[in-house]
Chains A and B, each alone.
Chain A
Amino acid sequence: MAWFTRDKPAVKRGDGEKRVRTEGLWLKCERCGQIVWRKALEDNFQVCPKCGHHGRLDARTRLAMLFDEGKFEEFDQGLASTDPLAFVDSKKYSDRLAASQAATQLRDAIISGGGKLNGRRVYVCAMELKFVGGSMGTVVGEVITRAIERSIQHTVPLIIVSASGGARMQEGAISLMQMAKISAALMRLDEARIPYISVLTDPTTGGVTASFAMLGDLNVAEPGAQIGFAGPRVIEQTIRQKLPAGFQTSEFLLQHGFLDALVKRADLKNYLSKALDFFLLPAEQNAGQDSQKNRVTRAS
């Protein structure tokens, strides 16, 4: 478990996570209700040391956790939405963007990084839930599409860590079309046979689930995450009945065959590394081909 202990955090973490009640240095776990030292929770990347509950983790800490020594290069961090619909609800969308930008120090709901994962060059995009609910509009769509194109250009595997309420309402049909744009780019990545691993974290819903989050060569999720397409309230209103316990959790998706594996946060980096070994380690001297030839010979 040496993995948990680090001399000092590689990056500055955001303030109080949503899922834990803040009382200074001590926090109460949302699931087990036990009191946990804030520092212990941070050192454990927001996983409760008492019960293993996976709290939400901000994008920057996520990337620092996955890249060797917490170091990575950032791409396209200057992209910002121009509010193409001039959308106004209870607040102007432009004000909402400004508030999210100030709170997260990001221009939009994603960080695109490049660096080493257990010594191997990878690109990782991580979504930031605290930025307008981690929603996908024109910037998230463009940043992810560029990351895919970069993967193809440099033959580098891609990992996308999702945490999102879905397509961003305030950019209307433009957000919707980002689902198409990213999925088409993933078609090219697939044709290029470059690995793409989708990591679904709490929550991954709507248009993000219904596009790139479900299109990995591997789709893996953290335990206990909410994952689905339609919102639980919409479903309850439609079918006029209560949803069963555990509906739309990672465990539910695994049981129904839509995830390759559940991976605990503590195991994620090594899991990804091992999966990329499977995809990318050079084959033994034509071993695969030979055994295939043998099989054909025997069959004929």
Chain B
Amino acid sequence: MADSPDPETIAAATNPTWERVLLARHPKRPHSADYISRVFTGFSELHGDRFFGDDAAVMGGFAFLDARPVMVIGQEKGRDTKQKLHRNFGMPKPEGYRKALRLMRLAEKFQRPIVTFLDTVGAYPGIDAEERGQAEAIANNLREMSRLGVPVVTVVIGEGGSGGALGLGIANRVYMLENAYYSVISPESCAAIIYRDSGRAAEAAQALRLTAQDLERLQLIDGIIEEPAEGAQTDPNRAAEFVKETIQRAVAELAPLTSKELIDDRYNKFRRMGNFFAEGQGA
């Protein structure tokens, strides 16, 4: 996708939004695994949802943020072809969401903060995923994450693809990398609907206001994390430093809060989102 040069590169030249979408999908862009290995030490992956299987599109485990034990969970796309197939291109199935919730509850039991990385084009659209309740798995995470009595910090590192991304994103603090996007629908699907032409994704991306800058302006995120030079792919170590600083600061701010304060803080944050309506008289 991001490799194919011509029409997309041309579109990017005149459309800074599309340029960011291409960066978010850049083949060399750091993924969850890259941040996990750089931001934390001693990461130990934990597998399985205890019901059906282990979804490799969701990577989770315990680790240490300096000395502080934390639970880390991220959507992972995989790098080479073999890994990509193994990780299902980062498109989680229901067991991925259920594994994530299991790990979050484990973290809550032992009062450990939770850090999640969002990077998926979307939840997997397949027969098996529907059979095992993709919608239920995401819905349940949205509700259950909202009652976790520990700090939750989310960073959108690449693609924030709709409900599939949000299913790990109910946090006290939500940050986006400078060139990440977060959207209700993929630009391609949006273009297919509104222009009946998925090739016009660049235009759709602009209309959707999906950049970090847009989301900050709409008050849907807490901040933007700067990327080095021409994007995170040019210097993953530096990108990870910026991410680490942000996570450290957020966790330090949230650590003194009680469980109830954390739950209320998270609730109030999402409760305020999207106050873009006028209160008129009846229709």
Contact = CB atoms under 8 A, between A and B. Distances in A.
B127 interface: yes
A239 B142 contact: no
B195 to A, nearest CB: 7
Contacts of A107: 280, 283
Interface string B170-184: 100000000000111
Contacts of A106: 283
Contacts of A145: 271
A179 B167 CA distance: 10
A208 to B, nearest CB: 9
A169 B220 contact: no
Contact of B140 (A185, A209, A214, A247): A214
Interface of A: 74, 77-85, 87-90, 101, 105-107, 137-139, 141-142, 145, 167-169, 171-181, 183-188, 190-191, 206-207, 209-215, 228-231, 234-235, 238-239, 243-244, 247-248, 252, 256-258
Contacts of B195: 89-90
Interface string B250-273: 000000000000000011001101
B125 A230 contact: yes
A16 B126 CA distance: 34
Nearest to A165: B193
Given A180-B270, A183-B146, A247-B130, A78 B207 contact: no
Given A213-B139, A234-B189, A82 B276 contact: yes
Given A214-B140, A230-B125, A172 B210 contact: yes
B104 interface: no
30 contacts: A77-B283, A78-B282, A78-B283, A79-B278, A79-B279, A81-B276, A84-B276, A87-B207, A89-B195, A89-B207, A90-B195, A169-B194, A173-B182, A173-B184, A174-B218, A177-B220, A180-B142, A180-B146, A181-B270, A181-B274, A183-B146, A183-B170, A184-B266, A184-B270, A187-B147, A207-B162, A213-B139, A215-B143, A228-B135, A235-B125
Contacts of B166: 176-177, 179-180
B271 A184 contact: yes
A214 B135 CA distance: 7
Contacts of B183: 172-173, 176
B170 A141 contact: no
Given A174-B274, A175-B184, A212 B139 contact: yes
B278 A210 contact: no
Contact of A176 (B163, B190, B281): B163
Contacts of A228: 130, 135
Given A173-B208, A176-B162, A229-B163, 14 more contacts: A80-B280, A84-B218, A173-B215, A173-B218, A184-B146, A184-B267, A184-B270, A184-B271, A210-B139, A214-B140, A229-B125, A229-B130, A252-B131, A256-B132
Nearest to A142: B277
Contacts of B129: 229-230
Given A206-B163, A257-B133, A169 B277 contact: no
Contacts of A214: 133, 135-136, 139-140
Contacts of A173: 182-184, 208-210, 214-215, 218, 220
A82 B278 contact: yes
Contact of A210 (B126, B138, B194, B280): B138
Nearest to A90: B194
B280 A78 contact: yes
Given A79-B277, A257-B133, A180 B170 contact: yes
Contacts of A137: 274
Given A172-B183, A180-B166, A214-B140, A78 B135 contact: no
A177 B270 contact: yes
Given A78-B282, A81-B276, A174-B220, A243 B190 contact: no
Given A177-B220, A183-B146, A229 B123 contact: yes
B134 interface: yes
Contacts of B280: 78-80, 107
Contacts of A80: 277-278, 280
A230 B134 contact: yes
B143 A184 contact: yes
B12 interface: no
B276 A138 contact: yes
A201 B1 CA distance: 37
B273 to A, nearest CB: 4
B275 interface: yes
Nearest to A184: B146
Interface string B140-171: 10111011000000000000001100110110
A66 B277 CA distance: 28
Nearest to B133: A258
B209 to A, nearest CB: 5
B135 A138 contact: no
Nearest to A178: B274
A185 to B, nearest CB: 7
A169 B185 contact: yes
A248 B207 CA distance: 30
B134 A229 contact: yes
Contacts of B214: 172-173
Contacts of B167: 210
A171 to B, nearest CB: 7
Given A141-B274, A173-B210, A209 B146 contact: no
